[in-house]
Structure 1
Amino acid sequence: MSIDRTLAALADPHRRRTVELLADGPRRAGELAETLGLTPPAMSRHLRALRQAELVEESHPPFDARVRVYALKPGPMAELKAWAAAAEALWSDQLLALKAHLETEG
């Protein structure tokens, strides 16, 4: 299930912060590493996990193939939002039913 992959990837605080930074727009891998205070190899591992979860996509500017630019892919986050909204609705309905039950018992 893709939501499982998304949640597993977002379980790490550095990867969550990376997603937050990319929400503002594409960024170079080096810029992400610097902002997060990570070494380039550590940042590379986090970006690989985000790519495997299909949360980000990588591109190269035409002038330098060594530079990697990362951007968010909207699909997985939209799926996660829909799942969270459904879970919230379920819990809301359950809590309202519990409240109504308690009020009739009291």
Structure 2
Amino acid sequence: MTSIDGAQIKKIVVACDAGMGSSVLLTSQLKKSLKKYAVVVEHSAVNHIPADADLVLCQQQLVTRARTTVPDKVVLGFQMFLGDPVFAKVEKAIKDGGNLGD
């Protein structure tokens, strides 16, 4: 199991497959909410996740592919692009230094 302390997260990548715009919207929303913690949020295709990502967020059905692309990184899946509980969990871990793992 891969894990990371939220206080160590400096770069989050939102990985997608279809490029329909929802993940770009999510990336923008996360940039705004995590700016105060000096966390960079980027968007990437699931097969081209940058190696310097600390945490990868993607739709639940893409988790296996993302973990294949970056096996040494924490990959968290979500069901909903807006309001999914995983986003609040990530922000809380960054703010309070909690552990995140897959």
- TM beyond 0.5: no
Structure with a larger share of its residues in helix = 1
Question: What's the TM-score, normalizing by structure 1?
Answer: 0.24
- Could you say which structure has the greater relative contact order, defined with CA pairs below 8 angstroms and 6 or more residues apart? 2
Question: What's the TM-score, normalizing by structure 2?
Answer: 0.24
- Larger CA Rg, structure 1 vs 2: 1
